[in-house]
Amino acid sequence: MNKNIIAVAIAALGFVIGLGFLGNAIKNRNKSENTISVTGLGTKQFTSDLITWSGSFSKNNIDLKSAYDELALDRKVINDYLLSKKIKQNEIVFSSVDIQKQFRSYNDANGNYVQGEFSGYNLTQKVSIESKDVALIENLSRNITEIINRGIEFTSSSPSYFYTKLATVKQEMIASATKDAKERAEKIAQNSGSSLGNLKKATMGVIQITAPNSNEDYSYGGTFNTSSKEKEASITIKLEYEVN
């Protein structure tokens, strides 16, 4: 008899404890669902303040030393030309010389590739400039045919544009995106007859830098446009608030 009473008491206690756990679970579930998640956007347009530009030139000769001497002469002409355009000497960087052996190649009667006899050396060197005088380097890149007109085999690349105060821009966008997200959350809470509680979670997206009014795609790791002097940066902030 005593054993039955004890068993019933234990079962009743277990039932009460189970109800307690269930009640807490329901309470916590309702609490977790009673939140608002919003995403805010921060954007800013700015003009690049740093530019890089590069070009390459080459010489071919059956004799390696002769090819190198001819390349050195072209290098001096290019360097003097850049200085005449008000480019500072410490902004001009010449790379090491790349040397490639050339062969006369052909396809035989069966269509097989055949490497023929040695035909000489091809020497290539690159010159690059980094400057904060964006307008000066832009003008230089557009008129680089002046070097070609001097008999130099020169290939010019398009300039790349950067911004040195990007950290400041990012801070401003984060503040703007956070404000935007909070205002959205307040509006949602107000329309539902509630008020915002504590901020539970904040998640920041990656910065995206594109040309203004362009159709460039955003990427998961962040987009960084370098082809446009004018840029537009954007970032998202996701906030999760409790609702009272």
What are the tens digits of pLDDT across the range 80-107? 999 999 999 999 999 999 999 999 877 7
Three-state secondary structure string covering 75-88: HHHHHHHHHHCCCC
Task: Write down the pLDDT at residue 115.
Answer: 74
CA 198/CA 177 separation, integer angstroms: 18
| Separation of first and last alpha carbons in the chain | 53
The better pLDDT of the pair 195, 105 is held by 195
pLDDT (mean) for 22-37: 55
Q: What is the pTM of this model?
A: 0.77
Show the tokens assigned to 143.
């008129």
| pLDDT band (50, 70, 90) for residue 219 | confident
CB-side neighbour CA atoms (13 Å) of 244: 6
Of the pLDDT bands very low, low, confident and very high (cuts 50, 70, 90), residue 12 is very low
Instruction: Kindly report, residue by residue over 146-190, the tens digit of the pLDDT.
Output: 899 999 999 999 999 999 999 999 999 999 999 999 999 999 999
